Amino acid sequence: MYTQGLDQQGSQDNTEHANADREREAAFQARIDGEEKIEPRDWMPEAYRKTLVRQISQHAHSEIVGMLPEGNWISRAPTLKRKLILMAKVQDEAGHGLYLYSAAETLGTSRADMVDQLLDGRAKYSSIFNYPTLTWADVGAIGWLVDGAAIMNQIPLCRCSYGPYARAMVRVCREESFHQRQGYELMLALCRGNDEQKRMAQDALNRWWWPSLMMFGPSDNESRHTAQSMAWKIKRFSNDELRQKFVDTTVPQAEYLGLEVPDPDLAFDEESGHYRFGAIDWEEFFAVLKGNGPCNRERIEARRSAHEEGRWVRDAARAYARKQAKRAAAQAA
């Protein structure tokens, strides 16, 4: 998930190649309509390739930046068990980032380029990770809500028309369920605890609820590329459909915890069988996306310094590999 319909750039790409390759495009669309998977070396329209590179790399960046808010609590986890769980979860997110970078690379981009784009601010990542993790309860709220929203978005991506992306998503989804369950269990422990712990859980839900709903991206009538992505079967459900599904499954879970969802307009609609919910503050969403969230600068700064401080390791590994190769060649000669 985490792709959030951040596809602001590149809208001309669609028309650029529309005239050429019309026949190939028709054949391509027919394959997609027939639920055939597209593989890296198959012919594909340039706009399809660009859309995928943008979406998959944004998704990868989100997994990588997403390690930071939770990583913040590893050293302060309340028990050894919780610490091990959190480390395993954060390590999974690193893995998700790497699966996704590899999937994007099959489209002809390089990981170094993608990382560069993240570090110099050209690439976007999910706005949710620009919020701070203020208390231990936030670790629970993230697992429950943020990973929960991610799962909702990622399950349909397992059937995405692009083979390597779909296969990466199958692997990711298999791992996400643990993330959500450990988060909910953490919330449950707090909610069964003393008053202060329960207050902490409620406070975390209050702060993470709305940003979680924003994770599904702009409303359908605002989101530009939904129709094309649906036709290409990159996307299977609209942002609003997925958001509704998330609300419908999550509200009863909050009730079970004995927590109150911070939305005075939230009400179950008997007729439709869905929860009606209040208006989302899209101004906040776009502000965070533009770089003005509470932690945008801190996140990118953390990624940049990790990249810089790791440079000598990458260089040393390369030098060592060169030396070994030279030695092996000399021995063979």
Partner 1 sequence: MAEQDWPLWEVFIRSRTGLSHKHVGSLHAADQQMALQNARDLYTRRQEGVSIWVVPSAAIHASDPAERDAYFDPADDKIYRHPTFYDIPDEVEVL
Which residues form the interface with Fe ion (CB under 5 A)? 63, 93, 96, 147, 176, 179
Candidates 116, 222, 298, 301; binder of partner 1 (CB under 8 A) is: 116
C-alpha–C-alpha distance, residues 163 and 103, integer Å: 9
Helix (H) or strand (E) holding 92: helix 80-105
C-alpha–C-alpha distance, residues 152 and 156, integer Å: 8
Exposed/middle/buried for residue 71 (C-beta within 10 Å: 0-12, 13-18, 19+): middle
**Closest Cα partner for 60 from 104, 14, 13?**
104
From 4-12, 50-58, 93-101, 249-257, give the range in contact with partner 1 by CB under 8 A.
Answer: 93-101
Q: Would you give the binding string for partner 1 spanning residues 174-213, x where CB under 8 A is met? A: -x--------------------------------------
Query: Of 54 and 96, which CB lies nearer to Fe ion in the complex structure?
Result: 96
318 binds, among partner 1, Fe ion, none (CB under 5 to 8 A by kind): partner 1
Q: Taking CB under 8 A as the rule, does residue 168 contact partner 1?
A: yes
| Phi, psi dihedral angles at 110 (to 5 degrees) | -110, 155
Measured from the CB of residue 110, what is the shortest distance to partner 1 in angstroms? 6
Q: Taking CB under 8 A as the rule, does residue 95 contact partner 1?
A: yes
Q: Taking CB under 8 A as the rule, does residue 81 contact partner 1?
A: no
Using an 8 Å Cβ cutoff, are 126 and 144 in contact?
Answer: no
| Phi, psi dihedral angles at 268 (to 5 degrees) | -80, 130
Measured from the CB of residue 79, what is the shortest distance to partner 1 in angstroms? 22
Count Cβ atoms below 10 Å from residue 291 Cβ, excluding itself.
12
147 binds, among Fe ion, partner 1, none (CB under 5 to 8 A by kind): Fe ion
Using an 8 Å Cβ cutoff, are 63 and 100 in contact?
Answer: yes
Q: Taking CB under 8 A as the rule, does residue 10 contact partner 1?
A: no
208 binds, among Fe ion, partner 1, none (CB under 5 to 8 A by kind): none
Q: Taking CB under 8 A as the rule, does residue 292 contact partner 1?
A: no
Q: Taking CB under 8 A as the rule, does residue 170 contact partner 1?
A: no
- Please report, as residue ranges, which positions from 312 to 331 form the binding site for partner 1 (by CB under 8 A): 314, 317-318, 320-321, 324-325
Using an 8 Å Cβ cutoff, are 150 and 2 in contact?
Answer: yes
The full DSSP string for 10-62 is -STHHHHTTSTTHHHHHHHHHHHHTTPPB-TTS---HHHHHHHHHHHHHHHHH
Query: Of 70 and 92, which CB lies nearer to partner 1 in the complex structure?
Result: 92
Using an 8 Å Cβ cutoff, are 288 and 296 in contact?
Answer: yes
The residues of the shown chain that bind partner 1, judged by CB under 8 A, are 39, 41-43, 88, 91-92, 95, 98-99, 102, 105, 110-113, 115-116, 167-168, 171, 175, 311, 314, 317-318, 320-321, 324-325
